[in-house]
Amino acid sequence: MHIPDGYLSPSTCAALYAGSTPFWYASLNKMKRRLNTQAVPLLSVFAAFSFVIMMFNLPLPGGTTGHAVGMGITAIVLGPWGSILAISVALAIQAIFFGDGGITAIGANCFNMAIAGSLVAYAVYRVIAGGSAIESSRRVAAAAVAGYCAINVSALLAAIEFGIQPSLFHDASGAPLYAPYPLHIALPAMMIGHLTIAGFAEAIVSGGVVAYLQRAEPALLKPTAPGAALPGESAGWAGTKPLWIALAVLLVLTPLGILAAGAAWGEWMPADFSSPAARQQMTAASSNQAPPAQAPAGLQKLSAIWTAPMPRYAPSVLKSPQFGYLLSAMAGAGLIVLAFLAGAWIFSRVRR
């Protein structure tokens, strides 16, 4: 995901340098205040550590390479501010000394991976880990999810930066001057690889290292676990109550989705192509391009294969759409929770 020179326009690069500078400044001040003279050696050695971790890289399908950037584990051990600086320094050295990532793109790469990545990883880790004990398996899961989310947020930012280039920067003939793919190609191209392979690489490194540190050196996990329960005090997952409450609130709020006008772009049914009202909505949503007169033959054929038990989130037995939507949300969320519980049960069996 290291963006080379020539992929982003100078103005995009300048904007991302400007966006990164306040984070660098604030992180350095925070680290200096907290650690005093220890900040310089700690950041230097951890920047070297992140650099080495980034060299453990995996080839991804589609020609890109996936690095386990290590933002998850760095943010968990050093906290977000230390992680921002350590990874930024590692990225700068990669760009200047090893030609990996562009010099004009250092700001962009730091913004995506060091800054956004570290902040997301830290927030996700703290929220999921909650007040669980240092040795809790919940911390391992929290670290894995944190790494997975962080690398995917970074990839999403990079994909957006790539995707806006062709519409903003092209020559008189319409040839893109920088990254040539618009959002609808850049987003899936970047995200497929990261949602699968690179995301899991990051999750394995974050979760695996936290599991290792729990056994070998739990003291390293303490600074970012201020409310951690003492061993034996809490049963690991018992403190997940706030998360369940948040999930319940979100479920109750789901009927808000009905307020959104029109159908989501691209989520059309074959019948919509023959309904005048639906056709009007489709035209409006597709920057005034009229849809084909008949539903595409492939869509007709494939949509006949499977009929959902609750089509359009509205079970046919219910009259009120709000209540049907709520019921669908509960059934959907319930199925997902059940799937995870089953997975956790099988996993704990296998481990034993």
Q: Which residues contact other proteins (rule: CB under 8 A)?
A: 4-7, 9-10, 13, 28, 32, 36-38, 40-49, 51-53, 55-57, 63-65, 70, 73, 77, 85, 89-90, 92-93, 95-99, 102-104, 166, 171, 173-181, 185, 204-205, 207-209, 211-213, 216-217, 220
66 touches 113 (CB < 8 A): no
Cβ neighbours for 325, distance < 8 A, ≥ 6 positions apart: 254, 255, 257, 258, 313, 314
**Residue 189 CB, nearest approach to other proteins (Å):** 9
Instruction: Name which of 56 and 265 has its Cβ closer to other proteins.
Output: 56
Instruction: Name which of 77 and 115 has its Cβ closer to other proteins.
Output: 77
**Residue 46 CB, nearest approach to other proteins (Å):** 6
173 touches 134 (CB < 8 A): no
Query: Phi and psi dihedrals of 265, rounded to 5?
Result: -60, 130
DSSP characters for 214-266? HHH-GGGGSTT-TTPPPTTTS-SSGGGHHHHHHHHHHHHHGGGGGGS-SPPTT
134 touches 218 (CB < 8 A): yes
Instruction: Name which of 271 and 344 has its Cβ closer to other proteins.
Output: 344
What CA–CA distances, in Å, run from 45 to 31, 99, 313? 14, 21, 53
138 touches 236 (CB < 8 A): yes
**Residue 208 CB, nearest approach to other proteins (Å):** 2
**Residue 178 CB, nearest approach to other proteins (Å):** 7
Compute and round to an integer the Cα radius of gyration of the chain. Answer: 24
Instruction: Name which of 57 and 303 has its Cβ closer to other proteins.
Output: 57
Instruction: Name which of 172 and 277 has its Cβ closer to other proteins.
Output: 172
**Residue 263 CB, nearest approach to other proteins (Å):** 27
Instruction: Name which of 17 and 310 has its Cβ closer to other proteins.
Output: 17
**Residue 57 CB, nearest approach to other proteins (Å):** 7
